[in-house]
Structure 1
């Protein structure tokens, strides 16, 4: 006869509830430990990318996070999956600010957009350089395209009056020109290859953006 059968009903129910509670407690404990391990691995990888601009190895991340290599593989499978997860975490940390209102003077809008882009890119340069080790990875390509779409939308919103004065082809050409001139790759050239300070690089971008907008305004006026 089972223990529950000879036990008073109230005690049997209490014992069953205690068993369930104990199992749930152990499960919650494992989940908390797993979540903490995952957090430590992501934070370690983020710190290492910021310091070295290279994708760290699983062994190095495990050592930095003070976890086992096996734990890293259990949570992420491979170094590429870890890198994609870290990229998503960094993107959340450096979300682009809201565009400046389109009714502000153009000079203010130019300065604001350049400052916003520059601050965003300066924080993501190490990640972008490290991502070069995974060229062609579908998830990274998809995220890169999403970021470009977001910045292009911000450009259209910030300079809505200027774009409105152009025909469709000219609008797209202007957006393409701004996207190429004020891209993350262009920022890397200014900051890392040419060694410009943040202030000097943003000054270059303000002049570039002013020239692009001025050219299109002159073109639109000539066409009238």
Structure 2
């Protein structure tokens, strides 16, 4: 209890508060290590790491993983949030160009930077999405964000041509980038050159 003269907590209360603060800090530290472990494993090429593998990498018990996360779905949700924090700065950079055509060409470089960051995590999520309602919905959300970012750049006369808009969307999509980098085994510079060529060819057919 508090000392009436000093207003300070009695020693036993101080110990209880210190102990509670210590538990909360350890809990936050464990949770952060678990998320970081998943990010490390996926970045290293483990497309679908198990909870046991995450626990081993985080140096915590398996029960600790599920004490912080009800299931792997909730862990993937936190992974998605962590990746979005990494790419927000790139996404929010203003375009240097004024004309929409130049902005689209500028977006090749920007999207390449973002796609390189998120590629291992998107590939991992895609392998698990049929087992996870969250990952299914998150994939659709990301596809909408890609499309919305493109459509915000295009003039209405181009948007009115649905086929043309979808063609541009496909050229600049993550799926196209993944195919070039993984299936075609191109370097980053080669993949960017292919996307830029496809985009330039598509733009040459548009009068706007």
TM-score norm. by structure 2 comes to: 0.85
Counterpart position of 2:157: 165
CA positional deviation for 1:105? 7.6
Q: Distance in 2 between matches of 1:93 and 1:192?
A: 22
Counterpart position of 2:35: 42
Q: Distance in 1 between matches of 2:164 and 2:24?
A: 51
Counterpart position of 2:143: 148
CA positional deviation for 1:196? 0.8
CA positional deviation for 1:10? 3.8
Q: Aligned match of 1:139 in 134, 148, 153? A: 134
CA positional deviation for 1:104? 4.3
- Greater C-alpha radius of gyration: 1
Alignment of 1:55-204 (within 5 A): 55-95=48-88, 96-101=91-96, 103-104=98-99, 106=101, 108-136=102-130, 137-159=132-154, 163-166=155-158, 169-170=160-161, 172-204=162-194
Counterpart position of 1:205: 195
Q: Distance in 1 between matches of 2:167 and 2:134?
A: 26
Q: Distance in 1 between matches of 2:138 and 2:129?
A: 13
CA positional deviation for 1:86? 1.3
Query: Residues 98 and 152 of structure 1: is their aligned pair in 2 closer, same or farther, counting only changes over 3 Å?
Result: farther
CA positional deviation for 1:97? 4.0
Aligned length in residues: 204
CA positional deviation for 1:138? 2.1
Q: Pairwise CA RMSD of aligned residues?
A: 2.5
